[in-house]
Amino acid sequence: MTMDSVANSVQLPPLDNPNERAAIGAELQVVLVDLIDLSLIGKQLHWSVIGAAAHGVHLFLDELVDQWRELADVVAERAVTLGFIPDGRSSMVATGSRVEPVVVQSVADHAVVWELGRRVAAVAERVRARLVSVGGADLVTQDVLIRVVEMLEKQQWLLRVQLGEKA
């Protein structure tokens, strides 16, 4: 084929089996929605936190939000790399997210830590539960999700110790 004549043929995403692409895409879709929701909740608490430790928590929340946004982008781009267009719209996040909602009010600093810790742990646990099955279909996506879990579990620890529980 000469380089000047671009054929009608199309270029296919990785993974030969379209079903596998869709299955992996669906796995990534649910992780994406949870991560976006975490980032919105993190901002909500960033604006609402009060108490003696409020300023430190306010700053820490922005670091977490940056990490969730970055992870969400990596997850979504992995999905679309596999030919699956993920849905990160507000309507999908509002209905599809499995993260427990927060209330709109001032929240005490310790409550922010407690509530976030629970939510981050829940998301991490859900992703961890899928690692082995995902790895069976696509080692690359598994590696992406291992990084997601590693980051979330570290955040969970950094939050948990602020509750005075055994590190």
Nearer to its own copies, 19 or 90 (CB): 90
- In Å, what is the CA distance from 49 to each residue of 73, 104, 105? 27, 11, 9
- Which residue type sits at 83? G
- In Å, what is the CA distance from 63 to each residue of 22, 39, 98, 116? 32, 10, 22, 13
Shortest distance, position 133 Cβ to its own copies, whole Å = 12
Shortest distance, position 19 Cβ to its own copies, whole Å = 17
Cα gap 124→153, rounded to integer Å: 6
Nearer to its own copies, 22 or 108 (CB): 108
Shortest distance, position 83 Cβ to its own copies, whole Å = 7
